[in-house]
């Protein structure tokens, strides 16, 4: 008889692979199904991008032993953050000293995160990696879920107690399973690339709001910066086709001289931006995580950090259910997870959306208000502290993994 798993994870991207790593010691039998060949350079989650991981995400990965496996050359600390509004006087400066931490976050190459996760998964006995396997359908029965997939071109089925949909923001399976996603198209595209600044970045991350969208300049090793520039959709083709020199000129106009004159820009990549949300992330024997559950604007670098907190909590709830010999696919178990995560998800999807609306507005009282807000945040300790906590991913109740506790060390599920 074919093996029946406790958990089927569709998508071996950052969210799906992190979940499988988090459940390594839980005793659950896990299959991870990934469409793109395992360890291939084509894997979309581990592409050329570089993302900013919060202090809280570092803690989760550290507990899992993943952080220690990420190539140190591929991660750079963020010691401070400078937030400003182009053409206006407001600014806020956040510093690691205000938070008493080693770094507020880290800029990490996606490929390096992918290598650490995939290498770890290959060593976990209870995890089967099924790849390349494109899941085309999900049949949810009373006691079991059946996935239909093409494994190396051959049609097959895989069965389990619970399926985690981690197939990304354009999740085809979410729609198939009738989760209603609401989409807000920002009419913006993020252009990302490496740039070389004229002055040392001093491990400061810059977030500069411009009329078309936010422009982030994140520190990387070797005094390079990772640029994430959200521009009006209508301007993308032109900006992508400019020569390196012309592009740097346009970038400089928007960013200013805070980092001196930019001298080089690497290859540019474009990502259209939208917010996706669902009313619920769970159903009988199914749960959505990562971008399949929520996709947010990259402003303030919240997307995967939110997804990793989902992963940490889902792993905690499932490991506990398994230890208590419960059926992990029941709504009773999944509701506990959803209840814990609802607040954080709502806050982050609302916060990032609100930032975009606020900072693209050209209405004079709104401009005055947001600049006053930036200046007040810079000088009022309570406001600064609240922003620091959000930036570090430390608001609300913290999962065991974020508190440095292994899931094997059982005890009561902390419902806060």
Ligand X SMILES: Cc1cc2nc3c(=O)[nH]c(=O)nc-3n(C[C@H](O)[C@H](O)[C@H](O)COP(=O)(O)OP(=O)(O)OC[C@H]3O[C@@H](n4cnc5c(N)ncnc54)[C@H](O)[C@@H]3O)c2cc1C
Contact 21, 30 (CB under 8 A): no
In this structure, are strands 282-283 and 286-288 parallel, antiparallel, or unpaired?
antiparallel
* Alpha-carbon span 8 to 19, nearest angstrom: 11
* Alpha-carbon span 23 to 10, nearest angstrom: 15
CB of 150 to ligand X, least distance (A): 9
* Alpha-carbon span 115 to 359, nearest angstrom: 36
* Alpha-carbon span 145 to 390, nearest angstrom: 37
CB of 376 to ligand X, least distance (A): 26
CA atoms within 13 A on the CB side of 97: 2
DSSP symbol at 298: S
Pull the structure tokens for residue 276.
Answer: 């996706």
CB of 246 to ligand X, least distance (A): 22
State which residue, 130 or 320, has the beta carbon closest to ligand X.
Answer: 130
Near ligand X by CB under 6 A: residue from 192, 195, 205, 387: 192
Question: Per CB under 6 A, does 16 bind ligand X?
Answer: yes
Residues between 225 and 264 with contacts to ligand X, criterion CB under 6 A = 228
Question: Per CB under 6 A, does 271 bind ligand X?
Answer: yes
Near ligand X by CB under 6 A: residue from 5, 262, 304, 337: 304
State which residue, 52 or 281, has the beta carbon closest to ligand X.
Answer: 52
Question: Per CB under 6 A, does 298 bind ligand X?
Answer: yes
Near ligand X by CB under 6 A: residue from 6, 7, 12, 276: 12
Given the rule CB under 6 A, which of 114-122, 295-303, 337-345, 384-392 is the region that contacts ligand X? 295-303
Torsional sign, CA 56, 58, 59, 63: positive
Near ligand X by CB under 6 A: residue from 56, 213, 214, 290: 290
**CA 309 vs CA 49, 56, 115, 136, 400: distances in Å:** 20, 8, 20, 27, 10
Residues between 81 and 140 with contacts to ligand X, criterion CB under 6 A = 134-135
* Alpha-carbon span 39 to 20, nearest angstrom: 16
Question: Per CB under 6 A, does 291 bind ligand X?
Answer: yes
* Alpha-carbon span 48 to 111, nearest angstrom: 7
CB of 166 to ligand X, least distance (A): 5
Residues between 141 and 180 with contacts to ligand X, criterion CB under 6 A = 166-169, 172
CB atoms within 10 A of CB 357: 11
State which residue, 148 or 330, has the beta carbon closest to ligand X.
Answer: 148
Size of site (CB under 6 A) for ligand X: 37
CB atoms within 10 A of CB 110: 20
- What is the residue-wise DSSP string for 200-225? --TTEEEEEE-SS-EEEEEEETTTEE
Near ligand X by CB under 6 A: residue from 24, 36, 204, 286: 36
Torsions phi, psi for 286 (to 5 deg): -145, 145
Given the rule CB under 6 A, which of 39-47, 152-160, 205-213, 377-385 is the region that contacts ligand X? 39-47
State which residue, 90 or 105, has the beta carbon closest to ligand X.
Answer: 105
CB of 298 to ligand X, least distance (A): 4
CB of 179 to ligand X, least distance (A): 14
The residues of the shown chain that bind ligand X, judged by CB under 6 A, are 10-16, 33-36, 43-45, 49, 51-52, 134-135, 166-169, 172, 190, 192, 228, 271, 290-291, 298, 301-305, 307
């Amino acid at each position: 008889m074919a093996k029946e798993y406790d958990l089927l994870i569709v998508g071996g991207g950052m969210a799906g692979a992190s979940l499988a790593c988090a459940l390594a010691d839980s005793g659950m039998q896990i299959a991870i199904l990934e469409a793109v060949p395992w360890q291939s350079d084509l894997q979309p989650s581990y592409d050329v991008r570089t993302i900013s991981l919060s202090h809280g995400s570092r803690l989760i990965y550290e507990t899992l032993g993943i952080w220690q496996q990420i190539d140190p050359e591929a991660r750079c600390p963020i010691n401070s953050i400078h937030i400003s509004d182009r053409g206006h006087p407001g600014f806020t400066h956040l510093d690691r000293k205000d938070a008493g931490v080693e770094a507020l976050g880290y800029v990490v190459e996606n490929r390096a995160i992918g290598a650490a996760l995939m290498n770890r998964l290959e060593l976990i006995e209870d995890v089967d990696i099924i790849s390349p396997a494109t899941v085309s359908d999900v049949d949810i029965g009373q006691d079991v879920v059946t996935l239909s997939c093409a494994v190396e071109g051959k049609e097959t089925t895989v069965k389990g107690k619970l399926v985690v949909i981690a197939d990304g923001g354009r999740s085809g399976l979410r729609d198939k399973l009738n989760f209603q996603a609401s989409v807000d198209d920002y009419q913006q595209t993020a252009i990302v690339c490496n740039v070389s600044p004229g002055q040392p970045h001093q491990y400061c991350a810059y977030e500069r709001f411009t009329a078309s969208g936010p422009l982030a300049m994140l520190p990387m090793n070797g005094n390079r910066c990772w640029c994430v520039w959200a521009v009006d959709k209508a301007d993308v083709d032109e900006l992508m086709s400019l020569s390196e020199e012309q592009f740097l000129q346009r970038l400089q106009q928007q960013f200013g001289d805070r980092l001196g004159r930019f001298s080089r820009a690497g290859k540019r990549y474009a990502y259209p931006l939208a917010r996706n949300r669902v009313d619920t992330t769970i159903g009988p024997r199914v749960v959505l995580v990562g971008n399949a559950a929520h996709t947010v604007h990259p402003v303030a670098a919240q997307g995967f950090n939110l997804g990793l907190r989902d992963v940490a909590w889902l792993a905690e709830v499932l490991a506990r259910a398994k230890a208590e010999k419960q059926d992990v696919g029941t709504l009773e178990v999944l509701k506990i997870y959803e209840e814990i995560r609802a607040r954080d998800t709502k806050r982050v999807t609302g916060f990032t959306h609100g930032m975009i609306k606020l900072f693209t507005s050209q209405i004079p009282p709104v401009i005055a208000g947001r600049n006053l807000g930036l200046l007040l945040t810079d000088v009022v300790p309570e406001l600064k502290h609240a922003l620091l906590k959000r930036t570090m991913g430390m608001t609300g109740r913290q999962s065991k993994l974020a508190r440095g506790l292994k899931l094997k060390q059982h005890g009561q599920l902390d419902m806060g």
